A and B are shown apart, each in its own frame.
Chain A
Amino acid sequence: MAAEYLKFVDVTKCDGCRACMVACKNWNDLPPEYEEFQGSIQSHEQLTAHTWNVLTFNEQETTNGGFEWLFRHQSCLHCVQAGCEKACPEDAISHTKFGSVVVDADKCVGCGYCVQGCQFNVISLATYKDKRGKEYRKAQKCTLCTDRLEQGLQPACVTACHTDCLIYDEREAVLSEANSRLLQVKDRFPNANIYNPQGIKGTTTVYLLADKPSVYGLPENPKVALSQVVWKDYAQPIGKAMLGVTTMAVIGAVISNSIAKVKNGDKGVDHHE
């Protein structure tokens, strides 16, 4: 289900202005979240249900003893094989034609299985109150601005980016740009790499990272977890079938016992009594 368009994040071009964060809050009408100072210039510790996009500031020592920040525009990667989608028991999470992974709020029951299923700690539960004051939960995360894509616009974060760190373009253009950028930055960042993990058939957000994925807290080689395959591809369908089989056996027994009863009169079946 490869998307025709990809979002490209060239972290080596990022200057840490955080305009993408503001644009995201603005467009998606997300409330501000105030957090304690964590001893870093990074504004928020991690993604939440109301903060879909956080610019992370990794503090690093350069080879010649200097100091530098590694920036990363962190938001949903929109995996082609998405852990959240696999974990959802309500079929509430799906891929759009743009390759974006979206939550259907009407179907979501707030169980939180997707939170555990995501290997990138992206999706989380938001708590709301209904008119009667009763609390309910819905899974929330970046939608890749699917509503904007439908109107022929680019994601809000991409529009706001002033260094072209964020690009939304045709698949081939993005991948060739990524390759040529990789060659250009190799001198400065010898560990630079393109992050488009093939263990999950790639992502709709492709990164050019300045260092190893683990430095950014990303899994080096994410895969669809075996537990999820066992659960969704085997246990669930077999369990449903098994319930059907036992029910059929019981119905069969009811029928054959009543036939035996009719045949043999009253004596036939209760042969023990």
Chain B
Amino acid sequence: MSKGNPKMVKRFSKPIIFVHWLNAAAFFVLYISALPMYTEYFDWLYAVFGGPAGARLVHRIAAIFFVLPVVIILLADPKGFFFWIKQIMSWKKHDFAFFKEFPKEFFGGHANIPKQDFYNAGEKVNSILTILTAAMLICSGFVMWFPQFFPQAAVMWAYPIHNIGLGLSAAVVIGHIYLSVGHPGSKASLRGMTKGDVPEEYAKAHHGRWYDELKDAEKKDDKRIG
């Protein structure tokens, strides 16, 4: 932003921002406390948690904070939550066209991406994979936490499901973090998840269809007032 104070538009509500970061923090703690078990290269992390028993305890506490955001958002901002769910389930031509152009943008080239929704197709994929992997991790994690209530075969299946959920979600998270804080083209989006607003110019460039809707709504408001 080199043009002084750009015009901003509201993007995410306070509760959405809060649960996003709560979920992110919990995921990070879960990831770190599980890493020594996942790969032997991180065995030294056991010492950080005061031994395997300590790592298990931290993992279970973080697990609760990982599930909590869903409950909180359903109470605090159900509208925002269901808008998200509805959006990521909607797949149209402009969503599919996104992926043809995206690699160019990702590696720093110039891309002609068609106008996107409030959530662009990449964010939709990120959301769907996040929900899917979270469901895998939470369900299988619950079985692994309380194996005495489940048949042995179910517990034995919980391990690979937890394992696949971890691999997928970690891959998704790496891409997600990079695109929000690392990639120059979409850095402005991070502000939407911290302060809650984004520059209007950014909305126009990355979420054209949403921007058009905002403009239409403004016009209607103007008419009503005028």
Contacts and interface: CB of A to CB of B under 8 A. Distances in A.
B109 A250 contact: no
B48 to A, nearest CB: 14
B167 A136 contact: no
Contacts of B182: 250, 253-254
A266 to B, nearest CB: 9
Contact of A231 (B38, B40, B159): B159
A109 B52 contact: yes
Nearest to A249: B175
A57 interface: no
Interface in A109-125: 109-113, 116-117
Contacts of A137: 53
Contacts of B155: 116
A88 B6 CA distance: 56
Given A225-B153, A260-B109, A269-B185, A240 B39 contact: yes
B37 A272 contact: no
Interface residues of B, number: 44
A64 to B, nearest CB: 38
B174 A269 contact: no
B210 to A, nearest CB: 15
A259 B184 CA distance: 12
B109 A136 contact: no
A180 interface: no
Q: Per DSSP, are chain B's interface residues mostly helix, strand or loop, or mixed?
A: helix
B163 A272 contact: no
Interface string B114-141: 0000000000000000000000000000
Interface residues of A, number: 45
Contacts of A249: 175
B74 interface: no
B160 A227 contact: yes
A243 B174 contact: yes
A271 interface: yes
Contacts of B71: none
A161 to B, nearest CB: 31
A250 B160 contact: no
A178 interface: no
A227 B157 contact: yes
Contact of B163 (A134, A236, A250, A271): A236
A87 interface: yes
A256 to B, nearest CB: 5
Interface string A220-246: 000001011011000110111011011
B174 A239 contact: no
B53 A136 contact: yes
Interface stretch (B14-22, B88-96, B198-206, B213-221): B198-206
Nearest to B110: A271
Contacts of B153: 225, 227
B58 interface: no
Contacts of B2: 273
7 contacts: A90-B40, A109-B37, A235-B163, A243-B174, A245-B171, A246-B170, A272-B206
Given A111-B56, A238-B167, A253-B183, 9 more contacts: A89-B38, A91-B40, A111-B37, A134-B53, A235-B160, A257-B108, A270-B184, A271-B185, A272-B202
Interface of A: 87, 89-91, 109-113, 116-117, 134-137, 225, 227-228, 230-231, 235-236, 238-240, 242-243, 245-247, 249-250, 252-254, 256-257, 259-261, 269-273
